[in-house]
Amino acid sequence: MRGEAMEERDQERQDQAGSLEDELHQVVGADEQRHVPDGDELWNESYYLDLVADDGSLGGYVRLGFYPNLGVVWWTTAIVREGGPTIMSTAYDLTAAPSPSIAAAGSGVDVTLSVLDALTSMRVEATAPGISYEDPADAYTATGGQGVDLALDLTWTTDGVPYHYGVTTRYEIPCVVSGTITIDGVLFEVAGQGQRDHSWGVRDWWAFGWCWLAGQLDDGTRLHAADIRIPGMPVALGYVQRPGSVETVTALDVAEDLGRLGMPTAGRAVIEPGGLDVTIDPVAFGPLVLVATDGRVSHFPRAMARFTTTDGRSGMGWIEWNQPQDGPTITG
């Protein structure tokens, strides 16, 4: 009888721990909207969305980042194709629409993000100038590209469990993506998968590095991991979602091989629980150079990537590295 009682108490503790874990990572629908900033100069509110077409032929990302205490909105967007050109559309001086609208305009950019159904679907409608680069590394120096016109009408629909970080105000949502991308009048119908996230708080890109990734494997598993590289205090965040289950990342080891200008040529992530061992092959880059008001510089290689696990599964997604530099000079 005593053994049965102990088992019951152990199960009760596990159930309580599970409830606390569920509550910790629960996303509130009201948080889909814009938030009131604090007084920090680098307080930022970011809406970030990416996609990969089902056949892997095309990918992209969209980010709208509000810096209300600097009086600007960042627009950073890329459309990429494996073996094809990289199209970058960036502006760091947009004007925000009055809250609660998630919208901004300026520098030829007009973008609106609409919450169609909280935690269920978000639509991006945008027109913007872009630059097409045969070599994505040229985006670092803004040389060698050709101007293009870009239009987006895309919807991200939740395809999994919205997941809030336990240590900061940020949540991530696995999605399916549909809609159109138009490049110089050529229409591309999009059907694929991706991830979207929303964060608010101080965002200092130049303080420390990180690696972030998200993707879908061919058995339906959704994986997301963030390796926060604060010197002396590494942090691992993320989840592994399988049909019917969500597991929080408890440990993470990410390593990469660096190529020209620090753009990674290969990577590997080992994710716990479960010892998920993933080889990462970046196939098409949409890189950025991010410059602070005080002149600090960070390189930001972001890539559509192919993921392969040691147990034979495969899939695609996106991966990024934030690489703060020692000074404002970009070197080869």
Q: What angle do CA 166, 168, 170 make, to 5 degrees?
A: 95
CATH of domain 2-324: 2.40.370.10
Centroid of chain to Cα 244: 23
Q: Which residues pair with 110 in a beta bridge?
A: 105, 127
Q: CA-based Rg of the chain, rounded to a whole angstrom?
A: 20
C-beta of residue 187 within 8 angstroms of C-beta of residue 180: yes
Q: Could you tell me the end-to-end alpha-carbon distance of the chain, in angstroms, rounded to an integer?
A: 71
Ramachandran angles phi, psi of 245, nearest 5°? -150, 150
| pLDDT the model gives residue 22 | 64
The label of the residue with tokens 């978000």 reads 122
Q: Indicate the burial class of 254 (C-beta count within 10 angstroms; 0-12, 13-18, 19 or more).
A: buried
**Does residue 264 have a cis peptide bond before it, meaning omega lies within 30 degrees of 0?**
no
Sequence-separated contacts (24+) of 267-271 with Cβ below 8 Å: 267/211, 267/305, 267/319, 269/213, 269/225, 269/227, 271/223, 271/225, 271/238, 271/240
Q: What pTM was estimated for this model as a whole?
A: 0.91
Residue spans of the domains in the chain: they are: 2-324
Please report, as a single letter, which amino acid is at residue 135.
D
C-beta of residue 234 within 8 angstroms of C-beta of residue 240: no
CA contacts within 13 A on the Cβ side of 87 = 21
pLDDT in tens, the chain (332 residues): 434 433 443 333 333 334 435 677 999 999 999 999 999 999 999 999 999 999 999 999 999 999 999 999 999 999 999 999 999 999 999 999 999 999 999 999 999 999 999 999 999 999 999 999 999 999 999 999 999 999 999 999 999 999 999 999 999 999 999 999 999 999 999 999 999 999 999 999 999 999 999 999 999 999 999 999 998 888 999 999 998 899 999 999 999 999 999 999 999 999 999 999 999 999 999 999 999 999 999 999 999 999 999 999 999 999 999 999 974 333 33
